Amino acid sequence: MRSFVVLGAGAIGRVIVRDLFESHPKNKILVADLDLASARRLASGFRSKRVEAAFADASDPRHLRGFIGGHKVIINSTRHHLNLGVMAAALDARVHYVDLGGLFTWTRRQLRLHRRFRERGVLAILGMGCAPGLTNLLAIAAAEQLDRVEAVRIRVGSADFNTMSDSFSFAYSAETIVEELTLKPWKWSRGRFAQVPARSGWEMVRFGPPVGDRWVVTTRHSEIATLPRVLRKRGLAYADFKVSFDRAFVRELVRRLRIGWTIPELAKLTTTRSQANDYEIARVEVSGRAEGSKRRCIAECHARANSKWNASAGDIDTACPASIVAQMIASGEIDRRGVFAPEDVANPNRVFDECRNRGMKFSFSGPL
């Protein structure tokens, strides 16, 4: 059996568990969460001895180390501020590690553990969801078509086709959305990291059907922390990340924060969907030079909701890549040791092929 720990039984964690379960009959999954009842509900739904549940306090590395030992890979789908502690537990237990991103700052701190992981013979891959994750690999795939890379622009847009309430509400984690819209983003500019004001850089992007035209805004993201490490030597001078938000929603959120609303109060406004029905496009445009002329390449991932799993497009394109790469680690296909970003160790085409098997689509154009 290939044994995995999925830390976190929330929206993304449950889809990671589903993908692991359906991918291979020898995959065994331990669902671990601070809310043991939630973990048990998730595990019992599979009616299989291959899925079990356990209590886990992700803020306590000693506790985690006590029960993850003997497993092959731990997939951390908790909050990014817990990443370092979960990594410490994985390192001590010699269990390989995958997470969904560290919102730039935590990712930079995690990368400093490379030597310790390498010496212990353990692998950690940081940010292996959609964004970061697939976006990193799309950037590398596009960059390979150019002789020189000058700029990487990542844009993510989505459309929800469910009838939306007119009331103010959150489609996913209120804490995540507040961080995205209040923390100062980082970009790569002229060979160094630079911060820009929160909620700056609004632009209209034509994603094409079925997402259409969407306003996107600069937010803090982990791709910007890692892509320059690989592409700087090829001339990278600029990189940024922007994601779509409704501008009226952003104005209302900022208003409520200014008058004292707390994250727990905002979290009560998270919507409960009866059936997922949305679509997401992650687009990466890489510009530079090819054959002596200015050129650009565009790479995209398209994801739609999975009605069978009642999983949104964002759930699918975030959870499945983490499951895919964790299984590549477990099988030995990815065998490096140390702490890496996806673009350092994962084969883009292999990951894209596996994602296609989960219903995602990819398109590539250029050099244009």
Which CATH number does the domain housing residue 340 bear? 3.40.50.720
Alpha-carbon distance 8 to 237, whole Å? 37
1 — pLDDT class (breaks 50, 70, 90): confident
Is residue 183 located within the same domain as residue 246?
A: yes
Q: What is the DSSP letter of 82?
A: G
Which CATH number does the domain housing residue 296 bear? 3.30.360.10
Q: Which run of H or of E encompasses 365?
A: strand 361-365
Is residue 34 located within the same domain as residue 123?
A: yes
Cis bond upstream, residue 132 (ω within 30): yes
* 265: number of Cβ within 10 Å: 11
Cβ atoms of 181 and 212 within 8 Å: the answer is: no
Domain span at residue 254 reads: 134-313+360-365
167 — pLDDT class (breaks 50, 70, 90): confident
Predicted confidence at residue 366, as pLDDT, reads 86
The arithmetic mean of pLDDT across residues 266-279, rounded, is 85
Q: What is the pLDDT of residues 54-88, one digit of tens each?
A: 999 999 999 999 999 999 999 999 999 999 999 99
Q: How many domains does the chain have?
A: 2
Is residue 33 located within the same domain as residue 174?
A: no
Cβ atoms of 315 and 12 within 8 Å: the answer is: yes
Is residue 84 located within the same domain as residue 149?
A: no
Q: Which of 88, 160, 242, 336 is nearest to 74 (CA)?
A: 88
Is residue 177 located within the same domain as residue 323?
A: no
Is residue 219 located within the same domain as residue 289?
A: yes
Q: What is the pLDDT of residues 280-317, one digit of tens each?
A: 999 999 999 999 999 999 999 999 999 999 999 999 99
Is residue 163 located within the same domain as residue 298?
A: yes
Predicted confidence at residue 328, as pLDDT, reads 98
Cα of first residue to Cα of last residue in the chain, in angstroms, is 47
Predicted confidence at residue 163, as pLDDT, reads 66
Is residue 153 located within the same domain as residue 51?
A: no
- The token pair at 140 is 């590398």
Would you call 227 helix, strand, or coil by DSSP?
helix
Alpha-carbon distance 346 to 125, whole Å? 9
List residues bridging with 33 in a β-sheet. Answer: 55
Q: What is the DSSP letter of 248?
A: H
Q: What is the pLDDT of residues 330-367, one digit of tens each?
A: 999 999 999 999 999 999 999 999 999 999 999 999 88
Is residue 29 located within the same domain as residue 64?
A: yes
Is residue 303 located within the same domain as residue 339?
A: no
Q: Which of 25, 10, 27, 13 is nearest to 73 (CA)?
A: 27
pTM for the complete prediction?
A: 0.95
Is residue 189 located within the same domain as residue 275?
A: yes
Is residue 142 located within the same domain as residue 103?
A: no
